Amino acid sequence: MKNLWGSRFQKQMDQMVEEFNASITFDIALYKQDIRGSIAHAKMLSKMNHLTEEELEQILTGLKKIEKKIEEGVLTFTYEDEDIHMAVESQLIKEIGDVGRKLHTARSRNDQVILDVRLYLKEEMEELFSIIQVLLKTLMEKAESHKEMLMPGFTHLQHAQPVTVGFHLMAYFQQFKRDLERLMDCYKRTDYNPLGACALAGTTIPIDRAYTADLLGFQAVTENAMDTVADRDFIVEFMSVSSLFMAHLSRLSEEFILWNAQEFSFIEIDDGFCTGSSIMPQKKNPDIPELIRGKTGRVYGHLLGLLTVLKGLPMAFNKDFQEDKEALFDTVKTVKTSAVIFSQMLENTTFKEEHIKKHMDKGFLAATDLAEYLVTQGVPFRTSHELVGAIVKYCEKTGETLMTLKDEVLPDIDSRLQGIVLPDLSSSACIHRRSSFGGTSPADVMRQIEKGKEVLEWSIGNNEVL
């Protein structure tokens, strides 16, 4: 088959080169967007009197027929079709004859491909927005039902201070909330109509770019034709947002893997999200969080790959841009699937309160609370830090805990502790005292949850804006 662009060539493309050059095997995924864009473009051409009403009707009928054939699997494409744009146009000419040759008036594959990707990514971001909302809702509901369940808080993976499970989960709520905000911001910069940029410099033929923007649901048109066909920033930005989202999901997955281990035994992951061993019958492996942790690197790789593709390109269109699609498609699929599965796993995970309680007596979790208590007794903080350090050292030597320590031994540890009466240093008392804004007290965790509900309600309302 002779390519639609091949009139100045005297020699057919080598088969291996043809296959290497073609993108139809993966950009077939954009057929709906490509046909949708062509329908809008045809309507604009008719509006500007470049097509008659009859010609417009022929083109629209032909395009819808092609779409139906693709959906039903009746119409398939080969390497000779090169890409989805040429494939659809060639098929349209077969369907309706020379009228189909008018469709490419005042457009190029350069603006056509960026249109398809923008339309595709807008749709996917709208779906991902809803998926992250479900994750946020699941986190919040789990946090609310565990707002008073004690657990050790860690720094350097060492016991640090007592917190609650609800407080810990709401920390991740904040990270995913920022991801949602970044996604919305990325959407705004994706929501521009590139049609009319043509190859790189616009067109001499009268067109109405605002009209096609309106037909396709874009907020506005791109400003500069050369930038339009060269721009992949919005894809990089989406991949960056996706990478950071996966980083957060991977961090929570890592905690699930640790909490699931016998050394912690904080959680019980539902059997439906685990696998066993082919040789060790007792094993129950946390495969889902491990896979998400691994797939995070996959998403990072796509981001770095596209940045590397872009770094040395001169302005306007270059064939290198063909490398953006497979990376984008895989990023979208990976992020969406990971988020959906993690939400379901979280919902079906049980926190094992009795096992967690066994960890609350380790690591002198109330040490900071004791230091802050001494401050309220008039002791400078640096001095109180020093004194509590001495108390901890004494407890380690004697086998005492902060809970079992008697007031009368305090002066023996340090004379400056004369007259000090120890407060209630139980983990429960500690978390209830931590009522500062953003703290782990159940009251403030509930405030965070109520604020989270407002954020979620606001974001759901803004689904219509996307």
Residues forming the active site = 156, 277
Six token digits for residue 343? 């939400």
Please report which helix (H) or strand (E) contains residue 364, including its range. Answer: none
- Residue 293: enclosing H or E segment and its boundaries? helix 287-310
SS3 350: strand
- Burial pattern 100-110, b for ≥16 Cβ within 10 A else e, equals bebbbbbbbbb
Those residues with Cβ within 8 angstroms of residue 361's Cβ, 6 or more apart along the chain or in another chain: 401, 403
CA 392 – CA 374 distance, rounded (Å): 15
> Taking the C-alpha atoms of 74, 79, 80 and 81 in order, what is their torsion angle to the nearest 10 degrees?
60
**Structure tokens that stand for 67 in this block:** 């779409």
Beta bridge partners of 351: 267
End-to-end CA distance of the chain: 42
Answer whether 246's CB lies under 8 Å from 296's CB: yes
Q: Outline where DSSP puts E strands in 141-270.
A: 150-155, 158-164, 192-193, 220-221, 267-269
Give the SS3 label for residue 159.
strand
DSSP of 371-398: HHHHHHTT--HHHHHHHHHHHHHHHHHH
The continuous run of DSSP H or E covering 109 comes out as helix 109-145
| Rounded-to-integer distance, Cα 337 and Cα 327, Å | 15
Written as one letter, the residue type at 181 is E
